[in-house]
Chains A and B, each alone.
Chain A
């Protein structure tokens, strides 16, 4: 990786303690949910592809908390956290990963295809870059219908190499659509480092070339993410599309099948010093908004939510095979 790793996020957190605790709690909910998923994958309860977001939680947390319930979200196959924070119950997410009918996609999608119409969570897309054109369409519909909503489109740095990215940037900018393009740059497209697949590694420059507002944000700092996402939402609503590059890092392998041989352990260790949860906790403790005791309490509450989700998924049922062909078409 060619980009130097900045020092860990630090400094005062400019929020009232309740808000800070809520952000911390959300990051922990994603982290503990996914740690449990990894465990259950090992136990054979979850199958297929499983892509963990561990290390990147500040991005989904800061960004989703800047959105409103009326907003639409399009995400990727690494979307457990985004679904959870858009309001999909952890029970239904876990049931989906178990393949149960109580899952948010009736067990037909699995980890990569979480959907929820009620909260306007539109997946769960396992085609890299596949969500971007869709987000443009949501923006177009909102604009044509005069609806006050933004569409937030999450995608990784790898998607920037796809034609879909460039076509979508152009279309959104040309038609001035209310879309926030949230690029989660974890510096690897699966196992290929960004400097090995991009001629221009300044991703904001690409978006800016379409006449679009574009800025980078430290994706390991939930405060920076939250402020950046708020600014992006306002911009999208007021004057059209915006691109934000959240610079982040995944601590785990690309998927459960990835032996992670393409990066130095020292690089991972260095990024871990920037971990979004422990650095944020330390800042809150430093300003007296959090004690270790309170942290452990929150962690225990989150563990309770995760346990309940697993119990819900275990108790769930299988969709009857007779329903296999149901919903191929709308009636």
Chain B
């Protein structure tokens, strides 16, 4: 019998969707491991999810303080060495603050928090977290953010597009003013992915608008254990 890979979910003070990320990891078939921001040792996990929420109250800027936590130092090291890391919402903000991903996330252009079921197009299915999708597959997952507007300078945006590093794009109304409707991006290696919407809230029929989000978590599992024979 194969042992399920250990996938960590890092909790900061003010993290909110950490339980949901743990659940999604579990439902995908991995062993879900809670990680604490103050611990440098990552408990032998082989992949990490940075969950949504308001780490450290989003004081200063969303994600700005979280990136300096002891656990994040280890996550940054791991990510640079190929460990799969998925940042969702506030986690995406942390990845940008940590310079694992380019650009930044700013206050929604309409200045209000928005929670809705959002249609996305998965444009890059070659990352560690999206290999389970078809290219250009359209999915619906919840979106909920107050600072979800993705911004970067034109050169960075052009580079992201040219290298196919836009992982997901909003379909229909742009919910937060993100440049070029970008909902998620990856690093060049495809192991670090940041996504503003919440795939961990679309893993059960009972509680989500769909189960379209589950493939983010099964994708990384497939990468870690290989395709079952």
**Are A and B genuine complex partners?**
no
Instruction: Give chain A's interface residues, CB within 8 Å of chain B.
Output: none
* Chain B residues near A (Cβ < 8 Å): none
